[in-house]
Amino acid sequence: MANVVAAYCLLRRSSRKLFDGRQNLNFFGSIRFVNSGLTYNFTRTRELSRQDVCYSDQIVSKHICFLRASGNGVLTSFPRGEGSGFQIHCRYLASMASTPVRNKSFSTVNSDDIIYFKKILGEKGVVEEEEKLDDANTDWLRKYKGSSKLMLQPRSTQEVSQILHYCNSRCLAVVPQGGNTGLVGGSIPVFDEVIINLRSMNNILSFDKVSGILVCEAGCILENLISFLDNEGFIMPLDLGAKGSCQIGGNVSTNAGGLRLIRYGSLHGSVLGLEAVLANGTVLDMLGTLRKDNTGYDLKHLFIGSEGSLGIVTKVSILTPPKLSSVNLAFLACKDYTSCQKLLSAAKTKLGEILSAFEFLDINAMDLVLKHLDGLRDPLPSSKHNFYILIETTGSTESHDKEKLEAFLLQSIESGLLTDGVLAQDINQASAFWRIREGIPEALMKAGAVYKYDLSLPPEKMYDLVEEMRGCLGATNG
Amino acid sequence: MGHLGWTDLWCVLIRPPNKASRLCTETASMRIMVAIKRVIDYAVKIRVKPDKSGVETSNVKMSMNPFCEIALEEALRIKESGRASEVVAVSVGPAQCVDTLRTGLAMGADRAIHVEFPGTLYPLSIAKILKALVDAEKPGLLLLGKQAIDDDCNQTGQMIAGLLKWPQGTFASKVVLDEENKVATVDREVDGGLETLCLDLPAVITTDLRLNQPRYASLPNIMKAKSKVIKKLTPQDLNIEIRSDLEVVQVTDPPKRKAGVILSSVDELIDKLKNEARVL
């Protein structure tokens, strides 16, 4: 009982907007639990802010120390009944001795369902072949594998709505899937949920050259959007290593940060509107294209970062910044983590408006990348450094930016913040530096089994986590 | 066998024992000149101007020609091995060439010469200017990239070797200077494989892709480069008249690749091969 109260209080606290009667969201009227002997916790997968931790510690049972076990709690919504309420089945994917058990109240897919889906989506939209399902069932890190027998590929919002309405009525569990590049197992089914993959919804709907507002479907691959915008003289406000496969719908649903967060902010600021389909098939059209729109409650923010638990995002309207011609990249070396932090504040002050990326990696990461990936060489081969920093500046005037960057770097070396560094002289060298940073997940995968957790921590505590984990695991594992 | 008297032995001992040390003082004064060109960055997507007179160069990232980078890297390696005393980078072009020369200085060149000329330049004019510079600076070795990635001419190195009447080793994938700096052994990448040549120095060598991997410009070197000298000259200073014998009439995009067609039967394939492609 205490857990039900906990769930209710936490949901209530974290999203007051959910209970707004005006929006006719009757499915939030009742929240029920299925108690199958496990202890549940609610936490947004990415952010373990101090407030949430304290609050939950008070209410939720003490032996779920989710910070220390650094596990993931994932909220998945399974529709139930005709809008009479929906259940939240919570699973806890940590290394605790509790395996999730399939909820018996969810049905299994039968041949009638397949016939119905084929009627809506056509033959091509319904995938039952083992091979293709294998890929869709396994996550990018090859750590988790679901056992879904059916994947659907709708081509329009209407089809998504029909599918979800049907699944709701039949009580079939679903999992929305985009590029399947997530590193924490959130995009694959746990058991045999129907996979709804949005890769066929990859049209760019409109682009306004004056304001830079792009409207596209959720299945557009990020790299394709970047190339399209490149022709128009704009760029996407987010950039990640997975851009070749990740889809914008997934990025929005997971509130992806990426390399340019420091310059363009998070998706909460860049996404101007979206269209989503709720669990019972209702289409919520929040696809505004205005920079400022204060009419009604701004529900889109709930969907950004909700990881598909509130609805499937089908269209996105995003504000894109103009492409600036002068890009400079410096690969630097520091001796300890305190210098890295000081360098960050110095960079923000001295480089100011032209700073567009600031990434750091430590020597173990660097060694792994150089060992496992081909065609990369150490930009600073003369000696081993403890920490490496990548600073990127983007601006409109080459000479002004270069001068500013060189002055800043000279000052940093003189004050002892930096021990060494190189400046990329052309785009090829810049790509090589970025490849080192973006290749870390790939190198980790080749190095062996990986436990990957996406944690947000205050900058001053970031490296403490690494040192503590090293202490727990032993120095050799690094 | 005669007797070796004391006087004979004395003469033997007096002869300079180490051949190399005598020649080191001679070879240490060898200067290497490297010609570099400022071109549109290799990774930039090229756009043709709407009036088809050329390619868009305004607001586009420019950097050092990749082959020139390789040439400069080779020069620096030769200097670091002790066989040269100075590396001079030269460039001919508009005022912004100074940026490219600064990159060259940041990589490690000792000084730079910029011959300023804002108009279009063709390989023969460049070769003539380089000849004037070579006559003034008297390097023992002239290194260039095999071609520039904007015009793909692959002519400057050969032309200047002709003007100077120096031997040339083009498309070099390996360069080895002998101890006395009299002969360079160059492996050339040719269509049939690798050709090895021995060139008497002074010579012209143009570099190919697999010669080396250019170094990154480190911050300490970038700072040092700020105080290095870039000498400014004009073609008039060198008594060269830039005259172009060529005129670019039109620049167009290559025709877009047509999409492939998926055929449904062998008969259709035969029909297409017969009637459309006319190969059967």
The domain spanning residue B210 has which CATH number? 3.40.50.620
Chain A, 157-196: which have a CB under 8 Å from a chain B CB? none
Q: Is residue B272 part of a domain?
A: no
How close A417 gets to chain B, by Cα (Å)? Answer: 13
Quick one: tokens of A58? 């008070």
Q: Is residue B46 part of a domain?
A: yes
Q: How far apart are the C-alpha atoms of A312 and A158, rounded to whole Å?
A: 12
> Which residues of chain A does B217 touch, with a Cβ-Cβ cutoff of 8 Å?
422-423, 425
Quick one: tokens of A295? 């009419």
Pairing of strands A126-127, A151-152: antiparallel
Q: Is residue B124 part of a domain?
A: yes
Of A399, A423, A431, the CB nearest to B222: A423
- Region A438-445: mean pLDDT is 88
CA torsion sign for A82, A85, A86, A87 is negative
| Architecture label for domain A326-447 | 2-Layer Sandwich (3.30)
Most confident of A138-152, A386-400, B158-172, B256-270: B158-172
Tell me which CATH code domain A204-319 carries. Answer: 3.30.465.10
| Architecture label for domain A111-197 | 2-Layer Sandwich (3.30)
Where along chain A do its domains lie?
A: 1-101, 111-197, 204-319, 326-447
Q: Which residue has the higher pLDDT, A442 or B24?
A: A442
Report yes or no: A118 and A163 within 8 Å, Cβ to Cβ: no
Single-letter amino acid, residue A421: G
Q: Residue A184's pLDDT is what? A: 85
- Region A308-320: mean pLDDT is 95
Domain count, chain B: 1
A111-197 matches A326-447 in fold = no
Report yes or no: A362 and A387 within 8 Å, Cβ to Cβ: yes
Q: Is residue B263 part of a domain?
A: no
Quick one: tokens of A442? 């790939």
> Which is nearest to A45 in space by CA: A449, A453, A441, A450?
A453
> Which is nearest to A43 in space by CA: A99, A110, A90, A107?
A90
* Positions of E strands within B30-163: 31-35, 38-40, 62-64, 86-93, 111-116, 141-145
Domain of residue B90, residue span: 24-255
How close A263 gets to chain B, by Cα (Å)? Answer: 21
How close A421 gets to chain B, by Cα (Å)? Answer: 5
What are the tens digits of pLDDT across the range B101-138?
Answer: 999 999 999 999 999 999 889 999 999 999 999 999 99
What are the tens digits of pLDDT across the range A28-76?
Answer: 323 333 333 333 333 333 333 344 333 333 433 333 333 333 333 333 3
- Burial code (b: 16+ CB inside 10 Å, e: under 16) for B56-76 equals eeeeebbbbbbbbbbbbbbbb
> Which residues of chain B does A426 touch, with a Cβ-Cβ cutoff of 8 Å?
41-43, 61, 63-64, 66
Q: Is residue B280 part of a domain?
A: no
Residue with tokens 């959130």: A186
pTM of this structure:
0.75
- Is A425–B220 a contact, with Cβ atoms under 8 angstroms apart? no
Q: Is residue B216 part of a domain?
A: yes
Report yes or no: B98 and B230 within 8 Å, Cβ to Cβ: yes
- Counting Cα atoms < 13 Å in the Cβ hemisphere of A178 gives 31
Phi then psi dihedrals of residue A434, to 5 deg: -65, -35
Edge-to-edge strand order for the sheet containing A326-334? Answer: A355-362, A387-395, A326-334, A420-423, B217-218
Residue numbers in chain B where pLDDT is lower than 70: 1-28
Q: Give this complex's ipTM.
A: 0.77
* Portion of chain B with pLDDT greater than 70, in percent: 90
Q: Is residue B6 part of a domain?
A: no
